[in-house]
Structure formats: structure tokens, C-alpha cells
Structure 1
Amino acid sequence: MEDVVGIIVAPIVIFLIFVAPIWLIMHYRSKKQINQGLTAEQYASLQELANRADKMTDRIHTLESILDAEAPQWRNKV
């Protein structure tokens, strides 16, 4: 009976001493990063990417309209 208790207690103690503190530190560190949100630099970068995506969308629509006018069957070839 004491062997079974020893087998169960040892992993629990190791978990509580080593794993649980690291786990808690990492958990609350990630919560802190989530709550902070985006930095000004990250927000500016995100805005720039969104602007580039909008420009690319406009260009794609323009190219598709040109292709539709010059080669109406181009969509069927792909």
C-alpha cells in the first residue's frame, strides 16, 4: 500500500514543484500580452497591410475587367 502511495505522490510532487509554476507563469504572461493589444507599431503595420490589400483588390478587379473585354473566354481556360 505504501508503494502505491509513493508511486502516486512522487509525480504529483514533481508536477507541483516544477511544472505547475512554469505553467502558471506562461499562462499569465500570455494573458497579459492578449490584454495589452496591439502596439502602435503593430497597428501601423496592420493598417499598411490592409491598405496594400485594398489596392491589390482594385488592381485585380481592373485586370479582370480588361481580360473580360479582350478575351471573354479567359475564365474557362483556367
Structure 2
Amino acid sequence: MEEVFLPLIICGMLFVALPWIIFHYITKWKTAATLTTGDEALLEELYQVAKRLDSRMDTVERLVASDNPDFRPARLMHDRETDNQQLRELEGLLGKNERMSK
């Protein structure tokens, strides 16, 4: 009698329990890999803050440069297209994401 139950239990664990556990954790992994709406909102807010801070730094550098002719800004040039390329790409991605969500 035990010779029958032991192979049945092993086969049940091998063909039912093991795939069940594997698929359970695969679905958990897939749902955890996505951004939630809260995460997206936080990223959008951080992006807006970074944009405002960049604008403020440009203003401060212009004011200091107008007061002191020997001032050399350590940052990149103000509103130069090559400096703002990554910002433009991010704005394009955000715009596309907003259009897709509507």
C-alpha cells in the first residue's frame, strides 16, 4: 500500500505543486515590475521640480554674470539645444505617455 502512495505523492508534488509555486511567483514578479499610478505621479512631480530648479539656476547664473564680468558658470550654457536634448526627449516621452493614457 505504501508503495502506491509514495509515487503518487511524488508525482503530484512534481506535476502539480511545483508548477503552481513557480507560476505563483512569476505572476508576483510580473505585477511588481510595473510602475503604479502613484509612482508615475511622483516621477512627474520630480520632473517638474527639476525643471523649475534648472530654470532658477539659469536665472542665478545670468544675474551673477551680469554683476561680475569675470564669472564663468560651472554649469552648461543657458538654453543651448545640445544641453537640453535629454530634457526634450523626456518631455516627448511624457507627452506620448499622457496621450496613451487618455
Gaps in structure 1 of 5+ consecutive residues:
1-23
Partner of 1:75: 72
AA aligned to 1:72 is: P
TM-score using structure 2 length? 0.41
Please, what is the CA RMSD of the aligned residues? 2.3
Stretches of 4+ aligned residues off by more than 6 angstroms: none
Question: Identity rate of aligned residues, in percent?
Answer: 26
1:33 and 2:32 aligned: yes
Q: Which residue, out of 41, 45, 49, partners 1:44?
A: 41
Among 54, 59, 70, which residue is 1:57 paired with? 54
The structure carrying a bigger helix percent of its residues is 1
Q: TM-score, normalised by structure 1?
A: 0.52
SS of 2:54's partner is: helix
Structure 1 Cα separation of the partners of residues 48 and 65 of structure 2: 26
**Count of residues in correspondence between the two structures:** 50
